[in-house]
Amino acid sequence: MIDPTLYDLNELDYSKLIIGQTIRAMQIFRCWWCGHQTNKYTISDRGKWGMTVPPHARASPCPYQNAHWHWLLYRKYELLSHRAHPKTYKEELKAEIQVLRSKYREKIQHDVLDVPLLPEKPFTFDDSEEDI
């Protein structure tokens, strides 16, 4: 069951929470690939590769992570991050990402409770980021 309290992750006292407990926070996590927003977090003591770490809040995984279109977005962002691609290819990738994001934007249902959801701004690339 989700705790009805709305927590501030910056001031959270983890000693009062249980590992595995699901909470709602004032902070909203946004999926890097599709833009899905949630304020649902799980208290975890696991870091990368299963190492035990101090308790921390981990955002719920994106519910669309297994969708093919989500994987395509991830893959295009991954290709975009390679520095060796010519500028024209990067511009094509950016355009493809914009098309995919706009095509599936209406399918995305945000999971934010008790916090006013900010209107989603269209995702744009900063032209000054030539190193991406």
Instruction: Determine the angle formed by the axes of helices 68-81 and 87-104, rounding to 10 degrees.
Output: 160
Structural contact between residues 33 and 101, judged by C-beta atoms closer than 8 angstroms: no
Q: Are residues 78 and 51 in the same domain?
A: no
Does residue 122 belong to any structural domain of this protein?
A: no
| The predicted structure's pLDDT at residue 50 | 61
Report which of 44, 64, 72 is spatially closest to residue 111, judged by C-alpha positions. Answer: 64
Q: Are residues 30 and 74 in the same domain?
A: no
Q: Are residues 53 and 87 in the same domain?
A: no
Residue 96: which residues within 8 A CB-CB, separation 6 or more? 76
Q: Are residues 32 and 85 in the same domain?
A: no
Q: Are residues 57 and 81 in the same domain?
A: no
Does residue 45 belong to any structural domain of this protein?
A: yes
93 has pLDDT over 60? yes
Q: Are residues 7 and 55 in the same domain?
A: yes
Does residue 112 belong to any structural domain of this protein?
A: no
Q: What percentage of the chain reaches a pLDDT higher than 70?
A: 79
Q: Are residues 51 and 80 in the same domain?
A: no
Q: Are residues 19 and 44 in the same domain?
A: yes
Q: Are residues 21 and 50 in the same domain?
A: yes
Does residue 116 belong to any structural domain of this protein?
A: no
Residue 77: give the domain boundaries. 66-107
pLDDT tens, residue by residue, 39-78: 888 888 876 666 676 778 888 888 999 999 999 999 999 9
